[in-house]
Each structure stands twice: as structure tokens, then as C-alpha cells.
Amino acid sequence: MLGIENIISMYDEEIDVKLIKTKPLKPDPNRKGLWDPGEYTINIYLPNIESKKDFHLTLIHEFLHAKREILYGNGGKEEDIYFLEEYNYERNPELVDFIIDFYKLEVPKEFQ
């Protein structure tokens, strides 16, 4: 489970979140998000986000990758992360609002 305490811990680890207004070029121009362990950055590619729920799930998804990387040294299997993102979204709906406020993200209105 991804919780507020995990988000605070990752912030303390200096994990950054970037909302990017252009599509990624490589390796997949349709990618919605990316956890970059080398840069300690979560990138969200706004042009590929389809809805508010999609934005929320993508943000949770990438934070789950970051959490697994910090705890276990790898970002985890995609199928496991997809299950966990839905699980976290349904059981902790206020988590994304906390992330947005805590990281002071400038989220487009259509995804708030």
C-alpha cells in the first residue's frame, strides 16, 4: 500500500515530480509516465493523459515504481504495479490530492 508516509519519505529522499507538456520521444511516444531512478524523478507526460482518473492512476503508478526501487532495488513488474495502482486508488482516494498539494504541482484544471 502506498500511503502519505511513503510520499513524505520519498520527498525527503529528494524524489522530484515533473509534469511535462510534451510527448516523450523515446522509447515510446505514447508513454504516460516514467520513474527515472537515475535522476530520482517521476515524469508525467500530460499530452498522453486522457482524463482526471488517468492522471491519478499514472501518478500513483509511478510513485509505486519509485517506492519499490527505494525499498527493493528495482521498480517492480508492470502487471504488479497495475494491480497496486488500482488498489491504492480505490482505497486511498485522497492520496493524489495530498501528492499534488505536498509537491505543489501545477496540475491542469481538467486533471484536478
What confidence score (pLDDT) does residue 9 get? 96
Helix extents (H) in the chain: 4-12, 52-72, 78-91, 95-102
Give whole-number Cα distances, 41 to 11, 22, 69, 83, in Å: 11, 16, 12, 22
> What is the pTM (predicted TM-score) of this model?
0.94
pLDDT band at 39 (very low <50, low <70, confident <90, very high): very high
List, for residues 64-112, the tens digit of each pLDDT value.
999 999 888 888 888 899 999 999 999 998 999 999 999 999 999 999 8
Q: Which of 42, 85, 41, 83 is nearest to 61 (CA)?
A: 85
Q: Cβ distance 105 to 99 under 8 Å?
A: yes
Domain 4-107 fold = Zincin-like (3.30.2010)
